[in-house]
Amino acid sequence: MKPPKPRPTETVELNNDGAKAALQASVDMYVRDKSVPVSALTNTQNENQNPFIAGQLAMMIAHPAEYAKMVDLAGKATGADKAVADAVVENMRYGLIPEGPARRAVVFGGSNIHIIKDEYVDGGLDEQAAKALICFWTSPEWSTKLARTGSNPGNLRGFKTEWMKERLDSIKFLDVTTSMLPSGIPFPVIPEATEIMNIIVPDMLQNALTEKMTVEEAADDAAAKVEELLGGL
Amino acid sequence: MSILTGQETVALSPAARPGRVSLWRRIINHRTDYLYVLPALLVMVIVIAYPIYYTIELSFFKTPANLQMRDKIFVGLDNYGTILSSASFREVTINTLIWTFFSTLFAFLLGSAAALALHREFMGRGVMRAVLLIPYVVSAVAASYVWKWLYHSDFGVIGALAVQLGITDQPINFLDNTTSVLPSLIVVNVWKEFSFAMVMLMAGLQTVPEQLLRAAQVDGASPRQRFWHVTFPHLRGVSMVTVLLLMVANFNSFIIPWIMTGGGPAGASDIWITQIYNIAFGRQRYGVASAYAVILFIVMMVLGYFYVRALTRGDDARAE
Amino acid sequence: MAEVVLKDVIKNYGNVYAVNNVSFTVEHGEFVALVGPSGCGKTTTLNLIAGLIPMSGGDIAIGERIVNDLDPKDRDIAMVFQNYALYPNKSVFKNSAFPLQMRKLPGDEIARKVTDAAKLLDITHLLERKPRELSGGQQQRVALGRALVRDPAVFLMDEPLSNLDAKLRVQMRSEIKRFHHNLNATVVYVTHDQLEAVTMADKMAVMNGGLLQQYDSPANVFAHPVNTFVASFVGSPAMSLIPLDVVSKGTEASLRSPEEGWELPLSTMNARKANASSNGKVVLGARHSTLKLHKEAAPGAVPGKVYTVEPTGDVTFARVFISGAVVNISLDPSVAIAPDEKVWVEFDRERMHLFDGETTMALQAA
Ligand SMILES: Nc1ncnc2c1ncn2[C@@H]1O[C@H](COP(=O)(O)OP(=O)(O)OP(=O)(O)O)[C@@H](O)[C@H]1O
Ligand SMILES: [Mg+2]
């Protein structure tokens, strides 16, 4: 294996002032104000769904698909829960993530397509076919269809299709969530993204929120880990 | 082992040094025996020996994240160095020791108490026994999820009860807290496995010879003295085995910590095995994870050695 | 003085009566053997005396004290168990010292008593060993030693020799007897081996099905068994029993084989006994040594057919079919007979036993 190519364009911003300020804001909410539930430290988005439909959570960061999920959960509720769940669905609204000092921003999710190197493919890689598949997959039409209820299309031109219009008409609150798109920041397209998003950043948050580290230390620690990750194999 | 030594030594190879038969001779003499265990041995080689070998091999390599192991780079003992010198290793090891020690201790104590309580006859003993066995037969995965919700820092049943009973005014924070998370997990683990100790010791108690207890009674021993002088020594062997099995299980336990906290928050409940899983399948560092696994393997082998010793102690005594 | 008195003792498990209304008295210094077939309630009786299991009814007194509600440790007894019941993790010394420790005796006194007992039983050199490092006989001695150190009023022993091989058993038998003699101890000794009981005991209590059959000296039990069960249980080979019909002729009487028709005239005394039979049938009992074998018909002899011949060296035992029953006869080894040979057997008119055909009890002269 060849030595990894240097990637000079990448700089680690996880411990810049803005990132630290954001982390500090989380700490203020969780530690100082206690304005978020204790379980927010470890909860995943899915784990917020049940308390939300039970009327126990006032607000959560949610996905465009969350409304459909809530309707589904309300449909399954029984007895006294049913009334509460119906009320929650009835009163549910989407809003935009608030604007920070610099601007409004949200990190995009996304999905990856990997094409395996020729040498690893039994019988050889048909590169043309792979490319064709990607073209099809990321086409305005297919990407809109793929994301029908779940998310927004990956191809911007997908927004101009007739299906997108149909979605906007039929799926509640999609207009609100879609209007957040211009504030979106895509994650750097590097293989290490998963580890950074799923491990390093949550660790940083937990380190700070549990006061195991100061905001400063947690951010620097995370940045160092990212540097190490990018420098390694 | 006694089959292989003894008279055969004399009968088959008088020339050999006394007490020793050449390995080859012994294998030849027992060739059919080997034939009988061969199929089982082959399966073991495939499903156990090879993975162990491969893990050890990988532990000397730096591996790419893409599972293409032919791209791996030999790094000698670097992975071991990385682990042993990493800041988290100390923390995780301490967690592992706390987890293993206290889980084993309390599971054993609780199990012994339950076994002793159930050993006497009383109304509803059978029902009690069945009830106390439930944790052991419940799926660990299901139990972990249930406990996770019982413990939930905002909506947990335990927290709600504590508030309702006026013990606390806030729901108790069990799992979202670096100091209480490990003890809380240990409670679940003890709850889950004390019945194992209970079953083992109940079996042990049943083999305490009635005559010995009666002899002690005639000799003037009180129930407590009968326990100390007859029952307790009799249970020593089964206790050893139980403690060792619990220790092995706890060193290796994955389901409860993984499902309930995944090692968090901020690594406060990370133990070796969750760490290994994280490194391997969260961060795709198969080489480092393998080295970690090898370290764990060595520790387990040491425990295993004592386990086998404890098991075969009786045999040696008889062979004397 | 420590006598043991059992009065109407009952132990039942539901409707299984393990011990049913048993009464007997063991005098001070007496050696009493409890015998009977397996499951007859010997161990249960012993455990009741020891206080290891609660009684269902009756009274037990030890040394003039009713002990019904006393713990085993307060009954002033020591017990020796069938499997020795030595504490496996304790040395021989500690095993023997254990009952004394439980009674909180001072250490030097314990040491003295244990050493004395060890000397008596010749196990001084074994004191530091663990039970599993001892032979069966040695273990048995240690178990005896542990009972001995306590100097109890009564020794209870439950088949203490049954785990030993035949030779060792004979040896230990005389040692226990010797030890009883030296200590002048009261002993209740359970065995299912009637020979052990006969050779060792001053009195034997023969039990069957939870009931006490006979309680008397071995000689009396041997000479005057109260029923066919005791008759067939005591003595080796067992007393032969032949069911026959009574033919009464006034004060005279004879016994007739219902199958073969021959008649055996009885002595006057025996005729009176036979006439007392409740159903006109009796069981004739005879010990092997009282029978004479003839190769030809003889007056007073009844016909039979040889079944097996078992030479043992000193004496040859012949088993002969008489009126459908098997009869044991001891012969001089020089007598040459073969299976299936026709023979005649002469009964000793004075030393025969007559039992009631219905109740199986020994018949008394009316
Ligand atoms: N705990 C019990 N529950 C029910 N029945 C019992 C119990 N213990 C003893 N028995 C019954 O009581 C009877 C007498 O038992 P015991 O042990 O006294 O016999 P034993 O004369 O000592 O026989 P062995 O010579 O075989 O030792 C047996 O029929 C036995 O099955
Ligand atoms: Mg018995």
Query: B235 at the C interface (CB within 8 A)?
Result: no
**pLDDT tens-digit map of C277-319:** 888 899 999 999 999 999 988 888 999 999 999 998 889 999 9
C-alpha closest to that of B181 among B161, B151, B146, B140:
B151
Query: A210 at the B interface (CB within 8 A)?
Result: yes
Report yes or no: C149 and C99 within 8 Å, Cβ to Cβ. yes
Q: Which residues of C touch B219 (CB under 8 A)?
A: 73, 98-99, 102, 146, 150
**pLDDT tens-digit map of C237-266:** 889 999 999 998 888 889 999 988 899 999
Q: Whose CA is nearest to atom 20 of ligand 1?
A: C39
Give the per-residue pLDDT at B172.
87
User: Relative to the alpha carbon of C18, which ligand is closest?
Assistant: 1
**Nearest atom, ligand 1, residue C16 CA:** 5
User: Relative to the alpha carbon of C45, which ligand is closest?
Assistant: 1
> Chain C window 106-145: which residues touch B at a Cβ cutoff of 8 Å?
132
* Nearest chain B residue to C97, by CA: B219
Give the per-residue pLDDT at B320.
38
Q: Which residues of B touch A195 (CB under 8 A)?
A: 282-284
Structure-token pair, residue B107: 């599971």
Residue C144 CA to residue C179 CA, distance in Å, equals 10
Residue B88 CA to residue B283 CA, distance in Å, equals 15
C146 in contact with ligand 1, CB cutoff 6 A: no
- Residue C313 falls in which region: left (phi positive, over 0), alpha (psi -120 to 50) or beta: left
C287 in contact with ligand 1, CB cutoff 6 A: no
DSSP string over C12-26: EETTEEEEEEEEEEE
Query: A170 at the B interface (CB within 8 A)?
Result: no
Structure-token pair, residue A233: 């194999």
- Higher pLDDT among residues B253 and B66, named by residue: B253
Report yes or no: C36 and C197 within 8 Å, Cβ to Cβ. no
Residue B280 has pLDDT above 50, yes or no: yes
List the beta strands (DSSP E) in C236-295: 240-249, 252-256, 263-265, 281-286, 292-294
Residue C327 CA to residue C5 CA, distance in Å, equals 39
**Nearest atom, ligand 1, residue C192 CA:** 25
Residues with beta carbon < 5 A to ion ligand 2? C 43
Residue B2 has pLDDT above 70, yes or no: no
Report CB contact under 8 Å: A39, B62.
Answer: no
Comparing A48-62, B279-293, B300-314, C2-16, which segment has the lowest mean pLDDT?
Answer: B300-314
Structure-token pair, residue B60: 């000397």
**Which residue in B58, B70, B74, B155 has the most chain A C-beta atoms within 10 A of its own C-beta, making it the best mutation to test that interface?**
B155
Report yes or no: B298 and B214 within 8 Å, Cβ to Cβ. no
User: ipTM value of the model?
Assistant: 0.78
Give the pLDDT mean for B244-273: 91
C208 in contact with ligand 1, CB cutoff 6 A: no
C192 in contact with ligand 1, CB cutoff 6 A: yes
CB nearest to B212's CB, from C82, C87, C99: C87
Give the per-residue pLDDT at A163.
81
Give the per-residue pLDDT at A150.
66
Give the per-residue pLDDT at B19.
52
* Nearest chain B residue to C130, by CA: B317
**pLDDT tens-digit map of B159-198:** 889 888 888 888 888 999 889 999 999 999 999 999 999 9
- DSSP collapsed to 3 states, B12-25: HCCCCCCCCCCHHH
DSSP string over chain A: -PPPPP-TT----TTSHHHHHHHHHHHIIIIIS--S-GGGGT--HHHHHHHHHTT--S-----TTHHHHHHHHHHH--HHHHHHHHHHHHH----PPPP-SS---EE----------GGGSTT---HHHHHHHHHHHTSHHHHHHHTTTTS--SSGGGGGSHHHHHHHHHSTTHHHHHTTGGGEEPPP-STTHHHIIIIIHHHHHHHHHTTSS-HHHHHHHHHHHHHHHHH--
Report CB contact under 8 Å: A195, B282.
Answer: yes
Q: How confident is the model at residue B14 (pLDDT cuts 50, 70, 90)?
A: very low
C43 in contact with ligand 1, CB cutoff 6 A: yes
> Chain B window 181-220: which residues touch C at a Cβ cutoff of 8 Å?
209, 211-212, 214-220
Give the per-residue pLDDT at C93.
92
Q: Please give the helix or strand (H or E) that residue C66 lies within, else none.
A: strand C65-66
Mutate to test the pocket of ligand 1, among C9, C38, C43, C48 (most ligand atoms within 8 A of CB): C43
**pLDDT tens-digit map of B69-101:** 777 888 888 889 988 888 889 999 999 999 999
Architecture per CATH, domain B91-274, reads as Orthogonal Bundle (1.10)
C44 in contact with ligand 1, CB cutoff 6 A: yes
**Nearest atom, ligand 1, residue C190 CA:** 22
* Nearest chain B residue to A43, by CA: B176
C191 in contact with ligand 1, CB cutoff 6 A: no
Residue B64 CA to residue A117 CA, distance in Å, equals 14
What is the reported pTM?
0.74
Give the per-residue pLDDT at C207.
94
Query: A42 at the B interface (CB within 8 A)?
Result: yes
Q: Where are the domains of chain B?
A: 91-274
Q: Whose CA is nearest to atom 7 of ligand 1?
A: C13
Residue B233 has pLDDT above 50, yes or no: yes
Give the per-residue pLDDT at A232.
65
Report CB contact under 8 Å: C87, B225.
Answer: no
Give the per-residue pLDDT at B3.
39
Give the pLDDT mean for B207-229: 90
CA distance A113 to chain B (A): 14
Give the per-residue pLDDT at A149.
64
Q: What are chain C's domains?
A: 4-226 (3.40.50.300), 240-356 (2.40.50.140)
As a whole number, the mean pLDDT across chain B is 85
Residue A222 CA to residue A205 CA, distance in Å, equals 9
Interface partners of C (3+ CB pairs, < 8 Å)?
Answer: B
- Higher pLDDT among residues C254 and B16, named by residue: C254
- Angle (deg, nearest 10), helices C107-121 and C92-102: 130
**pLDDT tens-digit map of C341-354:** 999 999 998 889 99
**pLDDT tens-digit map of B117-167:** 998 888 888 899 899 999 999 999 999 999 999 998 888 899 889 888 888
Give the pLDDT mean for C33-62: 92
Residue B226 has pLDDT above 50, yes or no: yes
Report CB contact under 8 Å: B65, A210.
Answer: no
Give the pLDDT mean for C135-159: 88
Interface partners of A (3+ CB pairs, < 8 Å)?
Answer: B
Q: Could you give the 3-state DSSP secondary structure of residue B79? A: helix
**pLDDT tens-digit map of B35-64:** 888 999 899 888 998 999 999 999 998 887
- Supply φ then ψ for residue B114, to 5 degrees: -65, -45
C-alpha closest to that of C129 among C83, C162, C94:
C94
Residue B12 has pLDDT above 50, yes or no: no
Q: How confident is the model at residue B65 (pLDDT cuts 50, 70, 90)?
A: low
pLDDT in tens, chain A (233 residues): 344 444 545 688 888 998 999 999 999 999 999 888 888 888 888 888 888 998 888 888 888 888 888 999 999 988 888 999 999 999 999 999 888 888 888 887 777 777 877 877 788 888 899 999 989 988 888 888 877 666 777 787 888 888 888 888 878 888 888 888 888 888 777 878 888 888 899 999 999 999 999 999 999 999 999 988 887 64
